[in-house]
Amino acid sequence: MQIRKNDSVIVISGKERGKTGKVLRVLNEKDAVVIERLNIVKRHTKPRGPQQTGGIVEKEAAIHASNIMIMCDKCNAPARIGRKVLADGKKVRVCRNCKEALD
């Protein structure tokens, strides 16, 4: 997957379409990501002892990677990602619009 933690992304489809946020977690086995303050769901939890009370907890749910695009900082637009090998042999992700490195 070409999306990494702390990337700035925009949601391109679904109920959260058009919203942007920062990636908190990448779930490679599900091809999904968790984005900060997006796709909020409510979970009912049982009390687990005197310290942890039960109740309704709101948390971020995963969004499939096909429904998001990375935001390029340079051109400030959603961008497709390309790969480029630098002179020292290091591979970097590049924006397909402005050809700037994203890493």
pLDDT of residue 37: 96
- Is residue 1's pLDDT more than 90? no
Give the model's pLDDT for residue 38. Answer: 96
Measured between alpha carbons, how far is 78 from 56 in angstroms, rounded to an integer?
35
Domain ranges within the chain, ordered by starting residue: 8-76
- Determine whether domain 8-76 maps to CATH 2.30.30.30: yes
Task: Give percent above pLDDT 90 in the chain.
Answer: 93
- pLDDT tens digits, 8-17: 999 999 999 9
Could you tell me the end-to-end alpha-carbon distance of the chain, in angstroms, rounded to an integer?
Answer: 15
Tokens of 55: 């109740």
Banded model confidence at residue 54, pLDDT cuts 50, 70, 90: very high
Q: Are 72 and 81 a contacting pair, CB within 8 Å?
A: no
